[in-house]
Amino acid sequence: MYTTVRQNGSWPLPDGLGQAIRGTAEEIATLVRSVSDTALAVPGSQWTLGEAAAHLAMANELMADLAAGRERPYGDGTPQSLARANAQSLAVFTERRAEPLATMITEQAEAFLDALSRTAADGPAPVTPLGPMNRSVLASYLLTHMLGHGYDLARALKRPHMVDRARAGLCMPFMLSVMPRVTDPTATAGLTARYRIRLRGGEAFGVFLADGTVQVTPEAPLQRADCTILLDPVAFLLIALGRIDPWRAIARGQVLAWGPRPWLASRFPTLFTAP
């Protein structure tokens, strides 16, 4: 678990999360600045490099506004509505040059952190595209979002990505918060199961499914789980964000499963839609 730091009554962040947000934004900006042609396609995406960078710049601005207490409606949290909101925002915001976008990505990440430092700890929870979140979870959301698209940019440019064990761990407050909201009702229909998820070298948590409902507990279940899944933290995050195939991670030894119903492990990634 991560300790929190409170300054001047502002909202506390898990230790290292602010530095991770700042560092990730700077690494993404460095990638964007290295692009000579922003019209090149991002593999596995309908976006170009310029569109992906523009989306990141606008998303960081949206998050900074939410952290400052401003209302910013952006879809209803479903994948379809978020895709429509993304398309509409990219149609309006037409900047595709590398340097202005790189600068905006880092400036808005800094604006987000500045807004948190000036926000009272007892302030109302911002309403995000994925529902209300306290500001530490919102910060985890921002980091998760940047890492997902930063991974895409690095892959497109054949550069090392910035997703590491520490940053994956800092994404967990958001991941645990959002899992019940991004459940696929078709995939979970009729399924009753108790999962225990362990991140290698990190935390464990429980996921309980029954009658179409999903409950996530921040600690491993005390009762015996039907299926325990042990994952590399980076693999967990990339699988959850739809960036790598679970079978690829299994083949590399990044995922292990056991318990009375170990076959449930193969179903687990299909139960959720990547946020």
- Mean pLDDT for 108-131 is 86
| pLDDT > 70: percent of the chain | 93
What does pLDDT average to over the chain? 90
Contact 196, 203 (CB under 8 A): no
pLDDT of residue 78: 82
CA distance 249 to 65: 37
Residue with the two structure tokens 């306290």: 134
User: Is residue 155 classed exposed, middle or buried when 0-12, 13-18 and 19+ CB atoms within 10 A define those classes?
Assistant: middle
Domains of the chain, with CATH numbers?
4-173 (1.20.120.450), 185-271 (3.30.1050.10)
pLDDT at 20: 98
- Say if residues 73 and 84 touch (Cβ distance below 8 Å): no
29, 106 contact by CB (below 8 A): yes
**Average pLDDT score over residue span 230-242:** 95
Q: Cβ neighbours of residue 200 under 8 Å, at least 6 residues apart?
A: 230, 231, 232, 233
> Counting every residue, how long is the chain?
275
Q: Give per-residue pLDDT as tens, 164-186.
A: 999 999 999 999 999 998 999 89
pTM: 0.92
Q: Does the structure show a pLDDT above 80 at 195?
A: yes
pLDDT at position 8 over 50? no
**pLDDT given at position 3:** 40
Res. 214: pLDDT tops 70: yes
